[in-house]
Amino acid sequence: MAHPDAAALGVRIREARVRADLSQEELASRVGFSGHSVVAKIETGVRKVSALELSDIAAAIGIHMIEFFEEPAPAIVSHRESRTPGATDSTVDARLALLAREVEFVDSLDGGDGLGLERGPQEQSAPTTVKEAESLAATARALLGLDSLEPIPHLVEVVGRVGLIAFSADVGKDLADAGTVLLRSGAVAFVNSHSNVGRRRLALAHELGHYLCADDYVIDWRVDLYEPKTAPIEALLDRFARALLLPADALEEAWASRLEEHGPRRAAAWVAHHYRVDMATLARRLRETGLADHQTAGIVRSHRTTRSDIVELDLYVPAEEMAGTTVPRSYEKAVLLLLEHERISRERALDLLQGTLGDDDLPAPRTRRDGEIWKYVY
C-alpha cells in the first residue's frame, strides 16, 4: 500500500470527487467543512487532512478510504488519462475500477493460489473477418478445455480457467451490457444483470473476446446490436461470442435432429435451452450458419419457451447464471480462505463479497484462549 504525501493525496481526493460528480461545495457540505475553500486547500495539499476527515470524505464520495492509498490497475490509469480532464466515470467504469482493486487486493493476500489470475492466455490477434472470428472461437474453446460440440452451462466458471474473473450486478437498463479491464495478471469482467440470462452470457462471451485480444479497458454498450459498418471489431467479437456459445458443427447436428422430430419452435426451445442462449442469439446464429431461412429464423426469434416445452422436452431448468449481484466461486473461496486464516476481518470479507453472503454464512470465529492477547505484551 502506498503512502502519498499531502499533495498526492489531495490529487486523489479531487479525482475521486470529480468521478462522483460532486462540486467542492457539495463535498464540503456533506463532510461538514465550513466552506469549499477547505476542500480546495486539501486538494492542493496546502492543508493536511486527518484520518477521521479522510474517512468522512470517503464516505461522502461513496468509496472506501483505502482507494486513496492504493494504485489502480495500469489499464484503469491509462483509460482515465486518455479521457477529457474532468470527465466523470460511468457506473460501469466505477464498478470495474472497484472490482479491479478488490480482486488485486484478494490476490495479493491470497498469494495467487486461488483466483487463477496467472493462467492468462497468450494474446490472440483481433479478428478482421468473419472467418477469423469463427477461428478465434475455436481457439478459445481449446484454451478453455472444451471440445467443439459441448455446451457451456457455467460460463463464469469456464472463463475463470484462463484468468478472467467475472462479476455481475443490476445497474439498470440504460447502462452498458458489460466491460472488461486487464489487471497486472488476468482480467476482471463486469456484466449488467439487468438483461436476460441469454444476453448476459453473450455479453460475457464477448468480453472474453476482448480479453483474449488483450484490449486493456473496454465498456460495451448493447452487445449483439453492433452494425458491421459502424463497429466492425465489436461486430466480429459478437460473431465470436455466438460461435463460442453455439459452435457451427454442434448447432448443425442438434438443429437437424430436433427440427425433424419437433418442428422449429420445439427445436428452438431444446437447442436454446441446451446451449443456454436466448432466442435472438439462436435465430441469428441459425441464419449466419445457413441452417435457417429468414422465415424460420423469425419463428425462432419470436418463440418463448413455454411450460409445455419444458415438460414435453424434459428440460432441466437450472438457476439463471449472473442473476442479480454475483461473484465468481473462485473469488468467493479466496475471500473465505483469507477470513479463515485471519488475514481479513469479517466486515472486510462481507464487503468484498458484495452482499452475496451474510454474517451467518461466514465461518464461525476461532475461539480464543483466555489471556491470548497477553502474549503480545511484555
For the segment 14-64, what is each residue's pLDDT rounded down to a tens digit? Answer: 888 887 888 999 999 999 998 889 999 999 989 888 888 999 999 998 888
Which residues 6+ apart lie within 8 Å of 341 measured at CB?
A: none
85: which DSSP letter? T
The percent of residues in the chain predicted with pLDDT above 70, rounded, is 93
Which residues 6+ apart lie within 8 Å of 106 measured at CB?
A: 115, 331, 334, 335, 338, 352
Alpha-carbon span 318 to 77, nearest angstrom: 39
Q: What pLDDT was estimated at residue 226?
A: 67
Element housing 169 (H / E)? strand 164-169
Q: What pLDDT was estimated at residue 86?
A: 60
Q: What pLDDT was estimated at residue 292?
A: 95
Q: Count of CB atoms within 10 A of residue 128's CB?
A: 11
For the segment 147-174, what is each residue's pLDDT rounded down to a tens digit? Answer: 988 999 999 999 999 999 999 999 988 7
1: which DSSP letter? -
Alpha carbon dihedral 118, 120, 121, 124, in 10-degree steps, equals -150
Residue identified by cell 429464423 is: 297
Alpha-carbon span 348 to 107, nearest angstrom: 15
Q: Global pTM? A: 0.86
How far does CA 48 lie from the centroid of its chain? Answer: 36
Alpha-carbon span 217 to 326, nearest angstrom: 21
Pairing of strands 164-169, 187-192: parallel
184 and 227 Cβ atoms separated by less than 8 Å: no
For the segment 218-245, what is each residue's pLDDT rounded down to a tens digit? Answer: 888 777 766 666 668 899 999 999 999 9
Pairing of strands 187-192, 178-182: antiparallel
Q: Average model confidence (pLDDT) for the chain?
A: 88
For the segment 72-111, what is each residue's pLDDT rounded down to a tens digit? Answer: 788 887 777 777 666 666 788 888 988 999 999 999 887 6
For the segment 288-304, what is each residue's pLDDT rounded down to a tens digit? Answer: 999 999 999 999 999 98
Residue identified by cell 449481484 is: 325
Q: What pLDDT was estimated at residue 87?
A: 64
The burial class, CB within 10 Å (0-12 / 13-18 / 19+), for 7 is exposed
Kindly tell me if the per-residue pLDDT of 215 is higher than 60. Answer: yes
In this prediction, residues 321-327 reach a mean pLDDT of 96
Alpha-carbon span 308 to 66, nearest angstrom: 53
Element housing 218 (H / E)? strand 217-220
Q: Of 202, 192, 217, 170, nearest to 73 (Cα)?
A: 217
